[in-house]
Amino acid sequence: MKKIWIIIMVLLLSACEPVITSIPVFIYDMNDAYMTEFEAKIRANALGHFNVTRIDGQNSQIIQNEQIDNYLNEDYPVLIINPVDRLSVYAMIEKAKQIDAHLIFFNREPLAEDMALYDKLFYIGADAAESAELQASLVMDLFGNDPETLNQFDKNGDKIIQTVILKGEQGHQDAEARTKVVIESLKEAGYTLEVLDIIIANWDRNTAYGLTQSFMEMYQEDLELIISNNDAMALGAIDKLKEMKVFLDVNQDGSIDRDNEPWLPIVGIDGIAASLESIKQGYLYGTIVNDSDNMAKSIIELTDWILQDKDLADFPYPITDDKYVWIHYQKLSLEE
């Protein structure tokens, strides 16, 4: 008799447990090169923990709002969200509050005032200013680390670095901070920078490819460096610069010898697979790794902790202000 009661109790308890079919992961746009790799890492890390469902917002907040609405119900205790418009998260937060769901935002950072609306919100990301400081230090390495005597890459010997900046999406925290801080960091370190132009190419390789010819026609004579807010745009510029023979593998050995073959310094940010290849082949000078490995790990770990109702005080990644997990960037070039 006792046994039967135990079995009934176990059955009743398991019936009360919410059945989590799959945790939804909303990506702002699966055409974004960095996000595509990032999403694959989230999926890889989730293996053995829980299933994930990828939902592509196609770069439209209207589409993404509808998608998120479909998942804002009791079946989904955690939603992992890379918002299309980081300024438009208010409504989703208010809805999550009503059903007690957790929202883990990543890569596109909501405003602090939105993050303060509810205690079950998290943001996992990286400090854009850090990426710009590291990118500035790549530039310093490139020009010989002495602002008083720039090396041969100061083509005209005027001790000023003439540059064009390829900027990501306007209003994105990374595009704004990277553009501003890379300039400031170089100035603070004693370098004189002349920004010939800032070209907005929306993080996108094809867009940068399409815009490169015209800025090169304007500035090619003077240009000594291209600073790109991300790798995809740097690679797009490189595609065009190869066509224009600004980069030329004269001996056709598959890589550029920077001292003897035509080359133009260019730096990126992200560390996507294609850019690592480009660095190895001598085209891209260097990049700053936007550590999606650790971000993906911590997103999955955090989801797990929430699902298991574990104490976040013991969470393996530091959580700032009860909400933010910050992952550091790292410098990467052949010199590193």
Q: How many CB atoms lie within 10 A of CB 244?
A: 16
For the CB of residue 176, give the shortest distance to ligand GAL in the complex, in Å: 12
For the CB of residue 123, give the shortest distance to ligand GAL in the complex, in Å: 13
Distance CA 236, CA 219 (A): 18
CB of 224 or CB of 270, closer to ligand GAL: 270
Distance CA 216, CA 244 (A): 9
3-state class (DSSP) for residue 265: coil
3-state class (DSSP) for residue 122: strand
Distance CA 144, CA 101 (A): 52
Q: How many CB atoms lie within 10 A of CB 190?
A: 10
CB of 35 or CB of 89, closer to ligand GAL: 35
Q: How many CB atoms lie within 10 A of CB 223?
A: 20
Evaluate whether 262 touches 301 at the Cβ level (below 8 Å).
no
For the CB of residue 299, give the shortest distance to ligand GAL in the complex, in Å: 14
CB of 174 or CB of 249, closer to ligand GAL: 174
**182 is written with which tokens?**
């890379």
For the CB of residue 33, give the shortest distance to ligand GAL in the complex, in Å: 7
CB of 107 or CB of 163, closer to ligand GAL: 107
CB of 162 or CB of 290, closer to ligand GAL: 290
For the CB of residue 111, give the shortest distance to ligand GAL in the complex, in Å: 15
3-state SS of 22-68?
CEEEEECCCCCHHHHHHHHHHHHHHCCCCCEEEEECCCCHHHHHHHH
Measure the N-to-C terminal CA separation of the chain; round to a whole number of Å: 71
Decide: residue 3, CB within 10 A, 0-12 exposed, 13-18 middle, 19+ buried.
exposed
For the CB of residue 130, give the shortest distance to ligand GAL in the complex, in Å: 12
CB of 40 or CB of 218, closer to ligand GAL: 40
Between strands 286-289 and 330-333, the pairing is antiparallel
Evaluate whether 251 touches 261 at the Cβ level (below 8 Å).
yes
Distance CA 241, CA 211 (A): 11
For the CB of residue 253, give the shortest distance to ligand GAL in the complex, in Å: 30
CB of 123 or CB of 203, closer to ligand GAL: 203
For the CB of residue 276, give the shortest distance to ligand GAL in the complex, in Å: 14
Q: Which residue has the tokens 């815009």?
A: 211
For the CB of residue 306, give the shortest distance to ligand GAL in the complex, in Å: 23
CB of 102 or CB of 172, closer to ligand GAL: 172
| Interface with ligand GAL (CB under 6 A) | 32, 34-35, 107-108, 168, 172, 174, 203, 230, 232, 269-270, 290
CB of 71 or CB of 106, closer to ligand GAL: 106
Distance CA 16, CA 9 (A): 11
